[in-house]
Amino acid sequence: MTIIAPISIASATAGNWLKEAQESLIAAETQGGLLGTLRDARHANGSIKSFLARSQNTAADIALIAQSSGDSVRELTLQMAAEAFQKRVAERLAAAQKQSAPQKNYTPPKGLDPFIYFDDGSSIDTQNNILTLADGTQIDTTTGLPYVEPGSLIQMANGAYLDTKNNILTLPDGTKIDTVTGLIVSTSA
């Protein structure tokens, strides 16, 4: 017994080929336009009513073609205008960037040195804003007050603070006491 392999039909419409064939035959029999009108006039079913109906359908089809063609022209015109606008914007942006390119011979101004040393032995730390006098006293250049390293301060609950580097207790009223000797160093008057 011989087995016949299945045949694959390479068509997207392989399942309804018979229907398509019948529709093609019917479409071939019903011609439109002037030839269809003359053919209908020769047969018994041709009449002015069917001629006018076919003419009306043909006019509607032509109007639809003209409308979709007009829509396509408008869409293409808008697309081309948008592309031209984008091109102009890109050209203007490139020209503006070309004009505002940084100067090649420009040297930025030199900032302050990190440390400035004076003849009397004092110095200024320009990065931390600290003036150090020749005797070692440090002054905050932004406030003008004596500089105390923040890591050496201990804040008390009553508002006083202790400078552990210099062993000075500053009371809330501004009185300073040397914690080693217990003597008052200065009072606020």
pLDDT in tens, 22-78: 777 776 666 665 666 666 666 545 567 766 777 787 788 777 777 777 777 888 888
Beta bridge partners of 78: none
Per the CB < 8 A criterion, the answer to whether 142 and 130 are in contact is no
Q: How many structural domains comprise the chain?
A: 3
Same domain, 141 and 157: no
Same domain, 91 and 27: yes
Same domain, 80 and 120: no
Q: What is the pTM of this model?
A: 0.35
Q: Is residue 9 part of a domain?
A: no
State mean pLDDT over 153-179. 88
Same domain, 74 and 134: no
Same domain, 123 and 159: no
Same domain, 84 and 29: yes
Query: CA 177 to CA 189: how far, in whole Å?
Result: 15
Per the CB < 8 A criterion, the answer to whether 175 and 183 are in contact is no
Q: Is residue 63 part of a domain?
A: yes
- Of 113, 109, 136, give the one whose Cα is nearest residue 125: 113
DSSP string, 51-87: HHHHHHHHHHHHHHHHHHHHHHHHHHHHHHHHHHHHH
Same domain, 119 and 143: yes
Query: CA 58 to CA 33: how far, in whole Å?
Result: 7
Same domain, 131 and 158: no
Q: Is residue 88 part of a domain?
A: yes
- Residue 86's pLDDT is 93
In sign, the C-alpha dihedral spanning 77, 82, 84, 85 is positive
Write a three-state SS string for 117-157.
ECCCCCEEECCCCEEECCCCCEEECCCCCECCCHHHEEECC
Q: Is residue 14 part of a domain?
A: no
Query: Which residue range is the domain that position 165 belongs to?
Result: 150-189
pLDDT digits (tens, 9 = 90+) for 90-149: 999 888 887 776 667 777 788 888 888 999 999 999 998 999 999 988 888 888 878 888
